[in-house]
Amino acid sequence: MNLASSFFRIGLLIFCGHLLIGTAVAKPDLRDPEDGRLYSVGAARIDITPDYPVLMNGFYYRTNESTGVLQRIFAKALAFGTDAEGPAILISADNCGLPNHVRETLLKRLERKGITSDKLAICVSHSHSSPKLAGNLNNMFGKDIPPAQQAHIDRYTREFVDKLEKVALAALKNRKPARLSWGKTSVGFAVNRRVSNGPVDHDLPVLKVMSQSGKNIAVLVNYACHCTTLHADNMKISGDWAGHAQEEMERVFPGAVAMTVIGCGAECNPASMSNTNAETKLALAKEYGRTIAEAARELQAMIPLSEKLECRSKSIQLPLAPLPTRQEWETLVKVNEQPKGLPQTAYHARKNLARLDRGETLPTEVPYILQTWNFGKELAFVFLAGEVVGDYSLRLKKEFDQERLWVTAYANDVPCYIPSRRVWKQHAYETETSMVYYDWPTRLAESTEDTVIGAVHEIMPPGFAAAERSSVEKEKLHIYLLLGQSNMVGRGVIESQDRAAHARVLLFTASNHWDLAVEPLHGSGPHAGFGPGLVFGKSVALQNTNANIGLVPCAVGATLLQRWERGGDLYSNAVARARAAMHDGTLKGIVWHQGEQDSILETDANSYHERLVKMIGDIRTDLGEPNLPFVVGQIGEFLYTRKKQQTPFAKTVNDALARVPQDVPFTACVRSTGLMHNGDEVHFDGKSQRELGKRYATEILKLRSATNKTK
């Protein structure tokens, strides 16, 4: 990704201090400033929990109906504006998907109340523990749904539409003078399920509604993450983490109708979703809900809204890629009817062959709706249909002013996944296999991202374009490269204290965009743990209260110094990522932890010092920073006395590292004295990684002070 024209905007987080998500604050009431405009706003809720068994959506191998209720689910509504103004209604519902016919039916019913298509936004939470709606994910189970089960689905769908109408009318009836304010914070439990350090939008925008007398009316939050904490082994109805977030918000904001909508998180899952038992998954869903509620409660920097709400919508067609031929459909049937085939794909192919036999024309486009709602030039909402991947919101926040932008997906219709060009090229589930479940004949065209973003630009009102970052703004982002092997990547067991994010410590992801820094920094593979990087970043942030800290992780486990020397693949990658990050900030230092691999052979260990010294000079030259602070860290002293000695030259490497400050100006060495391994006699344990991060921070700050004196 070329970041030359991508200007990262920290927004409200610049001024949020040391925000640690999940920390209790003893002020749960909604305290809006008194200078906001009085709007006419009403809120309402309605229970949409079925009292009969029904198929739940989202997992193809869960083919039995629900067996009970784990948590009651709801639809909730906010109505904005007087009858004279023409009211707008925002509905949130605990459901996995939303077929277009639901919105069309509801819109016709609400026309008598002056509700137009521009002014109706329906958003679903994408909970995979919610009832299936008729017309959504029709091929999910890879077979025809039995008539008795289909009858329950049809019944629930009718009741669902009726209840959406009731809650919308109730919100209109409940309108009263109210003040609106909004702000933005972050939480970090969403992780990209496809790419380590891949795109994730961790923003948590919050809209608060208070009555003229100061009482809570509603609180609305938006977070980009699948509602799949409970996974397929759960057979009971639940709102998942989004439902628990609503429960917790209604507890800490007494009297408020709490609503949760979902951002562009189609390829993002809750952390630690898999490989846990049902009890643990439920506990995680509750924990994530509390995290959302606490973050909303802690948010102090609220901005009052005072301008008129304006609403726009646009319907477009998203072209599909070239359709399969009849022969290709027949091949799909044959291949996928084999024991190792995918029955869903075979079922889908047979359905399309039957359509062709009936003389039907297969679709070549996907209907798509999008909206913008804006309060003058103070705040713009973007509502995108479908399961939208994170690249969309991150791109929109570069092309528009992210300090005034709110992006919600799963809105008004969920016809399929909406892949970005990056995801489209991966030929992943989100691009191809998922289209089988949604019953489209092939994947979307490569141009999808530009088509959708272009349509947003068409209906976004003037005044929201992003401004170029000035040199003063760039100086507010201090960038540090994290280089080395597995002890920089980290194998420490991640505990609750390690999950706490800091509002001013950011991560440059694998796709070259900035996000809130959360563990694991270097990806979420099977051995993912935490290293010294995040503690280092937080420690530096504590001493640099007017700046944001940007961490650029580049470390790779089990790597020799040779790959980090000029001409090596890891060296080239680190320089490229550093240059990309420097478009948005100022490079302040490099942290290096490597050497275990070079302590195996005597020739590598004996030449280590000379080669490392040259590498430091080379990377400084290539980055245009001749005095760039560079801190090296010693490998574990426990390597000297391993039971199974595989690193006989560990002390030679440590001695070489210790000599670096003697031979290279503006460098320092962090000693590993007193640090312990995690049991494998190679990797530091969690306590030692935290200490190592603090030691790195101490030395880098000393070097920065020294380099500043030479300027």
pLDDT of residue 23: 27
Whether pLDDT at 655 is above 70: yes
Averaged pLDDT, 418-444: 94
pLDDT of residue 567: 85
Predicted confidence (pLDDT) per residue in 483-499, tens digit: 999 999 988 888 878 87
pLDDT band, very low/low/confident/very high, at 36 (cuts 50, 70, 90): low
Alpha carbons 675 and 672: distance in angstroms, whole number? 6
Question: What's phi and psi for 267, nearest 5 deg?
Answer: -110, 25
Number of H helices, E strands in the chain: 19, 26
Q: Are 136 and 387 in contact (CB under 8 A)?
A: no
pLDDT of residue 513: 78
Burial bucket for residue 415 (CB in 10 Å: 0-12, 13-18, 19+): buried
What single-letter DSSP state applies at residue 360? Answer: P
Q: Are 112 and 138 in contact (CB under 8 A)?
A: no
Whether pLDDT at 32 is above 50: no
pLDDT of residue 330: 97
Alpha carbons 505 and 535: distance in angstroms, whole number? 10
Distances (CA, A) of 560 to 446, 593, 648, 667: 39, 12, 16, 21
Most confident of 162-171, 264-273, 469-478, 495-504: 162-171
Give helix 278-298 / helix 240-252 axis angle, nearest 10°: 40
pLDDT band, very low/low/confident/very high, at 540 (cuts 50, 70, 90): very high
Whether pLDDT at 33 is above 80: no
Distances (CA, A) of 327 to 320, 331, 517, 700, 709: 19, 6, 49, 64, 73
Alpha carbons 531 and 138: distance in angstroms, whole number? 45
Alpha carbons 170 and 44: distance in angstroms, whole number? 6
In the chain, the amino acid numbered 165 is: E
Higher pLDDT, residue 496 or 24:
496
pLDDT of residue 472: 60
Q: Which of 8-12, 249-253, 688-692 has the lowest mean pLDDT?
A: 8-12
- What percent of the chain shows pLDDT beyond 90? 75
Predicted confidence (pLDDT) per residue in 172-191, tens digit: 999 999 999 999 998 989 99
Question: What's phi and psi for 625, nearest 5 deg?
Answer: -130, 85
Averaged pLDDT, 502-530: 81
pLDDT of residue 304: 95
Predicted confidence (pLDDT) per residue in 238-279, tens digit: 999 999 999 999 999 999 999 999 999 999 999 865 557 888
Q: Are 222 and 121 in contact (CB under 8 A)?
A: no
pLDDT of residue 4: 33
Alpha carbons 224 and 50: distance in angstroms, whole number? 27
SS3 for 489-514, per residue?
A: HCCECCCHHHHCCCCCEEEECCCCCE
- Dihedral sign, CA of 639, 640, 644, 647? positive
Whether pLDDT at 134 is above 50: yes
pLDDT of residue 198: 80
Q: Which of 460-464, 507-511, 624-628 has the lowest mean pLDDT?
A: 507-511
Alpha carbons 509 and 551: distance in angstroms, whole number? 9
pLDDT of residue 26: 28
Q: Are 593 and 485 in contact (CB under 8 A)?
A: yes
Whether pLDDT at 201 is above 50: yes
Alpha-helical runs (H) found in 142-277: 147-173, 240-252
What lies within 8 Å, CB to CB, of 331 at 6+ separation is none
Output the six-digit token pair for 104.
């069309």
Please count the CA atoms within 13 angstroms of the CA of 694 that sit on its side-chain side.
7
pLDDT band, very low/low/confident/very high, at 711 (cuts 50, 70, 90): low
Q: Which of 192-206, 212-226, 281-295, 351-365 has the lowest mean pLDDT?
A: 192-206
In the chain, the amino acid numbered 271 is: A
Predicted confidence (pLDDT) per residue in 55-90, tens digit: 999 999 899 999 999 999 999 999 999 999 999 999
Q: Are 3 and 580 in contact (CB under 8 A)?
A: yes
Radius of gyration in angstroms for the set of CA atoms belonging to the chain, rounded to a whole number: 27
Predicted confidence (pLDDT) per residue in 361-417, tens digit: 999 999 999 999 999 999 999 999 999 999 999 999 988 988 899 999 999 999 999
Output the six-digit token pair for 668.
């320092």
Higher pLDDT, residue 299 or 123:
123
pLDDT band, very low/low/confident/very high, at 27 (cuts 50, 70, 90): very low
Alpha carbons 479 and 536: distance in angstroms, whole number? 12
Whether pLDDT at 519 is above 90: no
Alpha carbons 531 and 501: distance in angstroms, whole number? 15
Total length of the chain: 711
What lies within 8 Å, CB to CB, of 456 at 6+ separation is 370, 372, 382, 384, 396
Whether pLDDT at 111 is above 80: yes
pLDDT of residue 274: 57
pLDDT band, very low/low/confident/very high, at 477 (cuts 50, 70, 90): very high
Predicted confidence (pLDDT) per residue in 567-584, tens digit: 888 998 898 889 888 888
In the chain, the amino acid numbered 678 is: N
| The pairing of beta strand 548-553 with beta strand 417-418 | unpaired
pLDDT of residue 468: 55
pLDDT of residue 14: 30
DSSP 173-205: HT-EEEEEEEEEEE---EEESSSTT-----EEE
Distances (CA, A) of 443 to 192, 379, 425, 613: 21, 34, 11, 51
- Write b or e for each residue in 464-501: b if 16 or more Cβ atoms lie within 10 A of its Cβ, otherwise e: bebeebeeebbebbbbbbbbbbbbbbbbbebeeebbbb
- What percent of the chain shows pLDDT beyond 70? 92
Report which secondary-structure segment, H or E, holds 45. Answer: strand 38-47
Report which secondary-structure segment, H or E, holds 484. Answer: strand 477-484
Average predicted confidence (pLDDT) for the chain: 90
